[in-house]
């Protein structure tokens, strides 16, 4: 029984996670188009990676956009979510209602979130442009203007991310020993001082988890950008480049796999840092 309990998840992990990952690494060294079988003639060495960093302009745009995505989630959306969690931890009246309101976007898929915000940004009958028209202000092409659409998509992504971080952080706050706060209050610390000098540092494991989660969220961003305009015209992300190159008329499976490998390597950085930290804490 124990063998089955361990073996079946392991097999599924290999088939659906490690298998495709290893296949992507192999394909990244080929010019395979996904139609015919792979032969020795398909292997092109590091040509895909060379082209990616030297002559494929959308790649660096996508890297820049992913960095911006990470910065907004990490330094804007995440602190807002943490702030809401701190407020709700103080047992505000109607706290359950606020938790439900802020957490509702989290239970929705990013595809649904994208559709909701696409309606809000619509030039025909969207809420934002309707308000602008009512104020005699020229409507804005929120999703069509390449100088704006990234920020519009980030508002939608942040709307969901705030609720996710709020619930995660609130769960951590509930686990903090009340005696620590009582001791800080006896020493004369106010609420802000208690949080910044005591609670925040006790919550360091949760803080680390939040940094890792936010990093992964920023790197795997795809749904909203793809729904808006297939990740083009100002919304290029590494994840959308993979899809646009691998699943298109060109069928550039090898080149798309090279982008996927780059994204995989970048994604492993926060995961390795997190696991290293956890291992050190367990040994300590």
Q: What SS3 class is residue 35?
A: coil
Query: What integer best gives the mean pLDDT of the chain?
Result: 86
- CA nearest neighbour of 214 among 66, 62, 13: 66
Tokens of 193: 């001082």
CA angle 86, 88, 92 (to 5 degrees): 130
Q: List residues bridging with 43 in a β-sheet.
A: 30
Cα–Cα distance for residue pair 179/90, rounded to 1 Å: 15
Q: What domains, with CATH codes, occur in the chain?
A: 65-203 (1.10.3720.10)
pLDDT digits (tens, 9 = 90+) for 150-182: 999 999 999 989 999 998 999 888 888 888 888
Token pair, residue 51, equals 């082209």
pLDDT tens digits, one per residue of 210-247: 988 899 889 888 888 888 888 888 899 999 999 888 87
- How far is the C-alpha of 2 from the C-alpha of 155, rounded, in Å? 46
Neighbours of 169 (CB within 10 A): 24
DSSP E strand stretches across the chain: none
Please work out, in degrees rounded to the nearest 5, the angle formed at the alpha carbon of residue 102 by the alpha carbons of 212 and 218. Answer: 30
């Amino acid at each position: 029984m124990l063998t089955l309990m361990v073996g079946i998840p392991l097999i599924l992990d290999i088939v659906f996670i490690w298998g495709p990952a290893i296949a992507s690494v192999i394909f990244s060294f080929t010019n395979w188009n996904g139609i015919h079988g792979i032969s020795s003639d398909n292997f092109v060495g590091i040509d895909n990676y060379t082209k990616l960093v030297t002559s494929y302009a959308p790649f660096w745009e996508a890297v820049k956009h992913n960095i911006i995505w990470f910065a907004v989630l990490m330094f804007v959306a995440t602190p807002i979510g943490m702030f809401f969690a701190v407020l709700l931890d103080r047992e505000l009246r109607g706290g359950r209602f606020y938790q439900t309101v802020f957490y509702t976007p989290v239970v929705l898929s990013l595809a649904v979130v994208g559709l909701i915000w696409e309606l809000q940004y619509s030039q025909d009958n969207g809420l934002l442009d309707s308000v602008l028209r009512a104020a005699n202000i020229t409507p804005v092409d929120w999703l069509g203007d390449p100088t704006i659409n990234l920020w519009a998509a980030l508002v939608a992504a942040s709307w969901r991310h705030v609720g996710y971080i709020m619930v995660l952080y609130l769960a951590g706050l509930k686990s903090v020993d009340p005696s620590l706060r009582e001791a800080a209050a006896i020493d004369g610390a106010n609420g802000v001082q208690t949080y910044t000098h005591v609670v925040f540092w006790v919550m360091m494991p949760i803080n680390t988890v939040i940094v890792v989660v936010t990093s992964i969220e920023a790197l795997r961003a795809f749904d909203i950008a793809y729904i808006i305009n297939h990740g083009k015209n100002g919304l290029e992300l590494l994840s959308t480049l993979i899809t646009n190159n691998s699943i298109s008329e060109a069928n550039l499976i090898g080149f798309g796999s090279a982008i996927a490998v780059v994204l995989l390597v970048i994604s492993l950085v926060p995961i390795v840092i997190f696991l290293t930290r956890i291992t050190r804490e367990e040994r300590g």
